[in-house]
Amino acid sequence: MESLEAERERATDLDVAELADAIEAIGFECTRCGACCKAVEGCESENGGDEDAGGDDEAADGHDHTATVFPDEVRQLQETGDYDWRDVARPMPYGLVEGEDGPQGETFEWALQTDDCGDCRFYAEDDGVGACTVHEDRPLVCRTYPFSVALGGTSQPMGEAVDEEGMVRAHECEGLGRDISRAEAEELAEALKERAIREIDEAIAVRDGYEPIEREPGEVVVHDSEGAKRPDGTNIE
């Protein structure tokens, strides 16, 4: 298995033009169906991306929407609406267990906050047409959907390979196969490369900075690239 440092070099060497070729070959246009922003078989949210929506309850059915968001992206989203940390992000659920008073344990990184139905809290819908209420400041994982890069140290790639090398993957999405301009493909490719580098940088920082934390019963600890944090985003000394 290659080291994260070696994988980072590979990510840095990614050719944006080649990534754009792969994206352009398959084609993509967002149809605003909202499938990538909603829970799997969740309940119908009356307000979509309502700012007062909660996020502590599980979706009625299926699995909550889970999208990785980096600490600096959380802060950027906080500034869009004077949000608290918990309004924007929740501890990544993987690694946590359900205790008497809710989730507990240690986990790594953050996920975008969800509403009571498990949909992304920044998702809004009007007559079946979806929209991101923080579109200009949306995280890299959202900017690059439905594509990913198959590199160690990055998010587990899903979907079918788009290029011959199997580097670029396309997740299932009804927007695939639609016309995309070269300029749009290159913009998406730039974001895809940036995401690949950022994910490995985060993984390296978490690895190098990880220290076991003595937790209180029922406590949640989140380890990110900046150290150990409480669910409200404050640092644990």
For residue 158, give the H/E element and its range: none
Q: Are 76 and 87 in contact (CB under 8 A)?
A: no
Helix or strand or coil: residue 188?
Answer: helix
Over residues 96-103, the mean pLDDT reads: 88
- Residue 20 inside a domain? The answer is yes
Identify the residue with better confidence: 54 or 177: 177
Single-letter amino acid code for the residue at 98 = E
Residue with tokens 């991101």: 132
Q: Are 200 and 8 in contact (CB under 8 A)?
A: yes
Range of the structural domain that residue 181 is part of: 4-229
- Residue 236 inside a domain? The answer is no
The runs of H, that is alpha helices, within 13-70 are 16-26
Confidence of residue 228 (pLDDT cuts 50, 70, 90): very high
Q: Are 231 and 90 in contact (CB under 8 A)?
A: yes
The residues pairing with 229 across neighbouring beta strands, listed in sequence order, are: 222, 235
Mean pLDDT (the chain, rounded) = 88
Determine the Cα–Cα distance for residues 73 and 50; give it in Å rounded to an integer: 20
The residues pairing with 114 across neighbouring beta strands, listed in sequence order, are: 120
Angle in degrees, CA 18, 20, 22, rounded to 5? 75
For residue 149, pLDDT beyond 50 = yes
Closest CA to 122 of 136, 110, 108, 109: 136
* pLDDT for res 126: 87
Which pair of tokens denotes residue 23?
């994206």
The residues, ordered by sequence, that sit 6+ positions from 236 with a Cβ below 8 Å of its Cβ are 213, 221, 227, 228, 229, 230
Determine the Cα–Cα distance for residues 231 and 211; give it in Å rounded to an integer: 17
Least confident of 16-30, 41-55, 155-169: 41-55
- Residue 16 inside a domain? The answer is yes
- Residue 18 inside a domain? The answer is yes
Over residues 77-106, the mean pLDDT reads: 93
Closest CA to 39 of 93, 109, 106, 82: 93
* pLDDT for res 54: 37
Distance of CA 39 to the CA centre of its chain: 13
Helix or strand or coil: residue 17?
Answer: helix
pTM of the model: 0.85
Over residues 100-112, the mean pLDDT reads: 92
Count of domains for the chain = 1
Segment 119-133, tens digit of pLDDT: 999 999 988 889 999
- Residue 237 inside a domain? The answer is no
As to burial, measured by CB atoms within 10 angstroms (0-12 exposed, 13-18 middle, 19+ buried), residue 127 is exposed
- Residue 234 inside a domain? The answer is no
* pLDDT > 70 in the chain, percent: 88
Determine the Cα–Cα distance for residues 96 and 207; give it in Å rounded to an integer: 19
- Residue 101 inside a domain? The answer is yes
Pairing of strands 102-108, 220-224: parallel
- Residue 235 inside a domain? The answer is no
